[in-house]
Structure 1
Amino acid sequence: MGSYIPNTRAEREAMLREAGYGSFAELYADVPPGVLLPDGPAIPSGKSELAVRKELGRLAGRNKVYGTIFRGAGAYNHYIPAIVRNVAAKEEFITAYTPYQPEISQGVLQSIFEFQTMICELTALPVANASVYDGATATAEAIPMCIDRKRTKVLVSATVAPQVLEVVRTYCFGSGREVTVVPARDGLTDAEALQQALTDTTACFIMQQPNYFGLIEPAAALGSIAHGAGAKFVMNCNPTALALLAAPGECGADVAVGEGQPLGLPLSFGGPYVGYMAATQAMMRKLPGRIVGQTHDAAGHRAFVLTLQAREQHIRRE
């Protein structure tokens, strides 16, 4: 295999002629000489498995491994019980087809349904979806749900994680939407600054709970200020924290989003992980992604299907 050549010399010469070059030197003439490698890489002869293991161990030993990491920012080194991986790998939840054909997709449909049910319980909101890529993109995906003809501006608290703000700005740049950062005071969102920033063109206000600095925001009060100006209220929350903190639904949030990594995913070099999104009944038909519902089949057994599919791209027609 090591001597295998993907194309022959004759084939390479034919490609050069077709491109209008007489040699590879002519093809690479515009590349600075200092960048080009005169010869191929110096690959040593093969080694035994034990020798390779020893060498890789030596290289890995140069890494610094810390038992406790306080960086956070959406990637947390939680303890993950062994049963988490076992449950996720159960063949009952794995089906070999996309969930658009429910009669052969009950496994994956049930796993999505259970995930959505858990998110609804944590957020105290009536509907949740699946298929948002990570917490940052879930936050950005919440913005189109809040936009209307008049309200196109987005307010984001300065206490939101920087990478989330970057993704929000990227999404809004392409669609021409204005993003304004509401300043912080003593590590929390400045309520007075939020009040002043809100206008009749503000679509939504986005905050994080707990925030980037690890502090607990007065979410209900901030949501009330946003609603007072007619804007929607979006909360980005750590899902495990919602077991103790007031849920987004209890704080008046219209949309709740967040990073699902704390729910049992390893660090995985920073992701991407899985985003979650939940919303009020009034926002349900604006929710992106899949929604799985529970029903009964012809024999009266519990079954799962995709519901409200008219919202999804695959079923829409021009």
Structure 2
Amino acid sequence: MRYIPITDADRAEMLARVGVADVDQLYADVPAGKLLDGLLDLPRAKGELEVERHLARLAAKNVSASSVPFFVGAGAYKHHVPATVDHLIQRSEFLTSYTPYQPEITQGTLQVLFEFQTQVAHLTGMEVANASMYDGSTGTAEAVLMAHRITRRTKAVLSGGLHPHYAEVVKTTSDMAGDTVVALAADPTGTEDILAAIDATTSCVVVQSPSVFGRLIDLKPIAEKAHAVGALLIAVFTEVVSLGAIEPPGAQGADIVVGEGQSLGNPLTFGGPYVGLFATRSKYVRQMPGRLCGETVDAEGRRGFVLTLSTREQHIRREKATSNICTNSGLCALAFTIHATLLGEAGLTRLAALNHEAAVKLADRLAAVPGVGVLNDTFFNEFTIRVPGDAAAIVERLAARGVLGGVPVSRLAPTAGLDDLIIVAATEINTDDDRAAYATALKEVLSC
């Protein structure tokens, strides 16, 4: 029997205070089809050994990203993570604590976060970065809220090249806050006129580059139009390695830069945990969510680190907080920092070049397959192809032949009417044999 420490009277009092009649009303925003109707169809009890064997059988059905030619991206990327990273993050002097409630005692944690912030600021071309967010999608939603606080407006314009999952997180957060979101239609060909959507009521414009379709976006004219009407430009990325090759968003006029740092130091891990990167200009630092670590000296003049700014509700009055984030992705940020340190500036630039080279070679091979077209005229390590037929079915048939060929756009944006598009990613892990296997398998699938 479960022990439930509240009585019916306690529950009734809490519901009355919240202002709902019953517990079910707390889930009113969850679509009805997503709610469970009754218990899961699972046995009431199983022995530990039986459970282990059953889960092992289920796990065996998965195809490891390292065991087959792998070209899946769309926000999460397979890169080589040096064994040094895993070794170092498990050392006691580096392994980060959950949340340092007496932060200055944990100098190791603060120094790592300070170095992390420095790296993110350099990569994005911004003046200040925080000590990480949960991931890129929630970081984007926080950036929109931050822009609303700065501009005192409540309308966000989302580019059609923004990852649909990121857009959905922004919409959910904005809906709860009563803000307005203008989301442009999916833009695989790079033809949207986002400048026309910016007006004097716009708080911020959210643009992803490279876009979810892989297209590189010139942010400068968008920044100029946004600034002309008093709005901010939020630049988003999902592939941080791209910053080793392209002009940083800060140099293109972005006011807030946010993205996903998973590509450095962090494996795919079935979608998380990941690490959100967040940077801005110093004049906006007091509106930045999360935490900020700074460098100082102690009473004896020795170098030290302090928690300089923490605007989350655990540390200050809730009504003054800029975010309800309760922690940062500390261990993932540590892995990011170690990998970035091992690479250095020259190493990251070389890694970016290898990624672009791999993507160009793959695009050339796939474009030679009859019936296949590459949509992009610009890309980093990811691009979109058009196939004759249902892309989702083609991806499944490729998987049956031992090639994980990408992400069908219909999986990310099922209502966009782009059922013949596949987003394909290539990184430094892909070999010539992998690319040949993809092209051969795709040719076979399309000829069936």
| TM-score normalised per structure 1 | 0.78
Amino acid paired to 1:167: V
Provide the C-alpha distance between the structure 2 equivalents of 1:83 and 1:249, rounded to a whole number of angstroms.
31
Distance 1:226 1:68, change over 3 A: farther
CA distance in 2, matches of 1:42, 1:185: 50
C-alpha distance 150-255 of structure 1, shift in aligned 2 (>3 A): closer
Matched residue of 1:230: which SS?
A: coil
Deviates more, 1:241-250 or 1:66-75: 66-75
Tell me by how many angstroms 1:88 deviates: 1.9
- In the alignment, the residues of structure 1 paired with residue 314 and residue 43 of structure 2 have an alpha-carbon distance, to the nearest angstrom, of 48
Find the counterpart in structure 1 of residue 179 from structure 2.
Answer: 177
Q: For 2:291, what is the secondary structure of its paired residue?
A: coil
Cα drift, residue 221 of structure 1:
2.3
Change in CA separation of 1:97 and 1:187 when aligned onto 2, cut-off 3 Å? closer
Give unmatched runs, 5+ long, in structure 1: 1-5, 16-34
Matches within 5 A, 1:273-312: 273-309=274-310, 311-312=311-312
Q: 1:42 to 1:90 in 2, by over 3 A?
A: closer
Change (3 A) 1:80 1:189: farther
- Structure 1 residue 97: Cα displacement: 7.2
> Quick one: distance in 1 between partners of 2:303 and 2:287?
27
Alpha-carbon distance in 1 for matches of 2:219, 2:212 = 14
Asked if the contact 2:75/2:212 (under 8 Å) is kept, the reply is: no
Q: Distance in 1 between matches of 2:100 and 2:49?
A: 46
Partner of 2:202: 202
- Alpha-carbon contact 1:182-1:189 (below 8 Å) kept: no
**Contact kept? 1:161, 1:211, Cα under 8 Å:** yes
Return the alpha-carbon distance in structure 2 between the equivalents of residues 170 and 96 of structure 1: 31
Change (3 A) 1:40 1:271: closer
User: In the TM superposition, what are the counterparts of 1:1-318 in structure 2 within 5 Å?
Assistant: 41=44, 43=46, 59-66=58-65, 67-94=68-95, 98-148=99-149, 151-183=153-185, 187-188=189-190, 190=192, 193-237=193-237, 238-309=239-310, 311-317=311-317
Q: Which structure 2 residue ranges, 5 or more long, are not aligned?
A: 8-37, 320-448
Partner SS, residue 284 of structure 1: helix
The aligned residue for residue 20 of structure 1 is none
Deviation at 1:60, TM superposition (A): 4.2
Q: CA 1:223 to 1:45, structure 2 compared with 1: closer, same or farther past 3 Å?
A: closer
Query: How far is the alpha carbon of 1:65 from its aligned partner?
Result: 3.9
Whole-Å Cα distance in 1 between the matches of residues 74 and 187 of structure 2? 20
Q: Would the alpha carbon gap of residues 97 and 144 (structure 1) be closer, same or farther in structure 2, given more than 3 Å must change?
A: closer
Query: Structure 1 CA distance, aligned partners of 2:71 and 2:172?
Result: 27
The answer to whether the 8 Å contact 1:199/1:229 transfers is: yes
Structure 1 counterpart SS, 2:235? strand
The Cα of 1:183 is off from its aligned counterpart by 4.0
By how many angstroms is 1:262 displaced? 0.8
1:289-311 deviations in Å (ceiling 9; x for gaps): 110001112222211101134x3
Within 1, Cα distance between the matches of 2:111 and 2:102? Answer: 13
AA aligned opposite 2:219: A
1:145-202 CA-partner distances (Å, limit 9, x unpaired): 1115752100000111110001000000001111112346552262xx3222112110
- Structure 1 position 84, deviation (Å): 1.1
Distance 2:48 2:159 in 1: 57
- How many residues align structurally? 281
Partner of 2:274, secondary structure, is coil
Give, as a single letter, the amino acid of the residue that structure 1 aligns with 2:216. I
Q: Secondary structure at the match of 2:277?
A: strand
CA separation of 1:213 and 1:109: change in aligned 2, threshold 3 A: same
Q: CA deviation at 1:63?
A: 3.1
- Deviation track 1:29-57 (CA, whole Å, cap 9, x = no partner) reads xxxxxx789x965857968xxxx77x776
Aligned counterparts of 2:155 and 2:208: Cα–Cα separation in 1: 18
Question: Over aligned residues, Cα RMSD in angstroms?
Answer: 3.1
Identity %: 43
Judge conservation of contact 1:93–1:110 (CA < 8 Å) in 2. no
Whether the 8 Å contact between 2:103 and 2:110 is mirrored in structure 1 is: yes
Distance 1:214 1:95 in 2: 34
Task: Note closer, same or farther for the CA distance 1:136–1:95 as it changes in structure 2 (3 Å cut).
Answer: closer
Shift of 1:61: 4.0
Using structure 2 for the length normalisation, give the TM-score.
0.57
Contact 1:92 1:107 in 2 (8 A): yes
User: Aligned partners of 1:45, 1:119: CA distance in 2, in Å?
Assistant: 45
Contact 2:160 2:187 in 1 (8 A): no
